[in-house]
Structures are given as C-alpha cells and as structure tokens.
Amino acid sequence: MTGDDPKKEIALAEYKEVLTQFRKLTDIRFKLLTYLPLGTVAGAVLTNEMVKQPAIPAFAFVVTLCIATYNKRNDQHYDELVSRAAELERELQIEHASFSDRPKPWLKYGPVPVEHRWPIGLIYAAAASLWAYLCTAALLQTAYTAVLFKNHPRLMWVQLAAPAVVLACWQGLHFMENARSKRQREVVTSLMGQLVGSRVVVTMASQPRELVESIAAQRILGVGTVKAERRVYYHWQGYEQKRDSRAASALLSAVIDLPARWIEDVWSGRR
C-alpha cells in the first residue's frame, strides 16, 4: 500500500457520505415542494373558517415563510455538498465526474433561465401570496361584520394588493441575496489578498492584529472584534508555518465560519 492510498480511502469514504447527504437534501426539497402547494390549496378550499378567522391564514402565512427560510438554508448546504463532491472527484482523479463536470443552466426561453432556484422561490412566494390574500379577506370581512367599514368596492384593492406586495418583497429579497453574495465574495477576496496576495514579509506581532481589524470592520461577516481576535490568534500558527492559499483559506474559515474550500475557490477563481 502506497502512502497515498490511505488518503484516497478517506476521500472515497467522505465522497460516499457527501452523496448520501446530497440525496437526503434533495429528497427533503421534493417533499416540501410536493406538500406545501397541496396543503395550501387544500386548506384554502376546504376550510370555510378562513374567511371568518384571520388568525388561521396569518398562521399559515408565517409557517410558509419559515419553511421557505428553512429551504433557503438547505440551498446553502446543497451548494456546499455539490462543491465538496466536485473537489473530492478531482482529488480522486475521476474523469467526467458527476459534480466536477456539472453543467451550468444553459437553457433559456427568451430572458427566462431554466434552473432550480427561481421556480422554487416562486412556489413559496405564490403560497405566501395566497395566505396573505385570504388573511386580508378575513380582516376585511371582520371589519364589514363589525360595521367599521361599508362594503365599498375600493377596499377590494386592499385584498388584491396583499399578494402583489408579497411577490414584490420576494423579488426584492432576490436582489438582496445577489448583492450580499457579491459583497461577501469581494470581502473574502480582499482578506485572502492580505494573507497571500502580498509579497511583503510581515512580523507575527503586526499581521494578526491587522487581519483582526479587517475582519471586524466587515459587518457582512458578522464577526466582532473579540471573537475575531480570539480565533485569529488561536489558528495563526497553522497558517504561519506555510503561508500559502490552503493555509490562508483554512485560517479564514475558522474565523468567519465559511467553508475553506469555498474561500479558496473564490480566491483562485476556480468556480
């Protein structure tokens, strides 16, 4: 057995575990996409109390938002599993592999790209819009019953505006997500430049302090000065021994809680 065999065995074992987790996340996603629309329509059609009790659609609206948030977090894990599987395939030297050669979403119908994310997001937005519509209808019906308002046709625009507001918010959140992702990549690139981009040799006493200040200054990373200082100084020795991109990405990963593989990919431009 050569010296590389144990490493390959470990990589292969991890690769199998990554595939297992990938399948589980995919299964969860399809179950959510199956049950949420069906449950939403069934609840809206079969429950007559919807038009009398605003609390019911309001509760369903909040639950839909929570499930959508949960799914968005699963998307982050999903992307990391795909990237990690691709990295392991490269290490194992698997040619034409499933993840390292994963095709980009190349198909478009006019300006509309054929991909996973926006249709899934639209399903959640549509479900939330329906609950917002029913909640507003229930509130208006309660107001009519209490004779707070007369049954004026203009008030129907309030009912129709509720789902429109939800869809507009969904689109706004999409833009915010893209902007945050872009900003995060810029910050990580800058921090990696501090560690491996400069050819100037600095002392251990000054460089960690500079890195701590740079990390704490970036609010998008969500790491305060105390936490950044504690983590940088704890992991600094491992980086100091090599001072290469792999060591730098490992250091940043330990400090800002983002995957070292992703940090190195951003820095190198590999993906």
- Confidence (pLDDT) at 138: 82
CB 88 within 8 A of CB 15: yes
CA gap 113, 208 in Å, rounded: 44
222: left (phi over 0), alpha (psi -120 to 50) or beta: left
Do 135 and 230 sit in the same domain of this protein? no
Do 253 and 145 sit in the same domain of this protein? no
- Print the domain residue range for 268: 182-271
**For tokens 């050819």, what's the residue?**
199
Q: Is 260 a member of any domain?
A: yes
Q: Is 59 a member of any domain?
A: yes
Do 136 and 186 sit in the same domain of this protein? no
Do 106 and 47 sit in the same domain of this protein? yes
Do 4 and 122 sit in the same domain of this protein? yes
Do 26 and 119 sit in the same domain of this protein? yes
Tally of domains in the chain = 2
Do 101 and 33 sit in the same domain of this protein? yes
Q: Is 160 a member of any domain?
A: no
CA gap 239, 74 in Å, rounded: 31
CA gap 44, 129 in Å, rounded: 12
Among 129, 151, 173, give the residue marking a domain's end: 151
Q: 109 in helix, strand or coil?
A: strand
CA gap 193, 197 in Å, rounded: 4
H runs (alpha helix) in 47-155 = 55-91, 117-145
The residues with which 113 forms a beta bridge, in sequence order, are: 108
The CB-side HSE value for 36 (13 A sphere, CA atoms) comes to 27
Do 14 and 129 sit in the same domain of this protein? yes
Q: Is 263 a member of any domain?
A: yes
- Confidence (pLDDT) at 200: 43
Q: Is 79 a member of any domain?
A: yes
Q: Is 92 a member of any domain?
A: yes
CA gap 188, 192 in Å, rounded: 6
- Confidence (pLDDT) at 202: 41
List b or e across 152-186, with b for residues whose CB sees 16 or more CB atoms inside 10 angstroms: eeeeeeebeebbeebeeebeeeeeeeeeeeeebee
User: In sequence order, what E strands does the chain have?
Assistant: 108-109, 112-113
- Confidence (pLDDT) at 199: 42
Do 71 and 205 sit in the same domain of this protein? no
226: tokens are 């105390």
Do 130 and 212 sit in the same domain of this protein? no
Mean pLDDT by 10 residues, the chain (271 residues): 72 94 92 88 72 82 94 93 92 90 89 91 93 86 59 66 91 93 93 74 60 91 92 90 88 93 88 68
Do 79 and 191 sit in the same domain of this protein? no
CB 221 within 8 A of CB 201: no
Do 37 and 88 sit in the same domain of this protein? yes
pTM of the model: 0.81
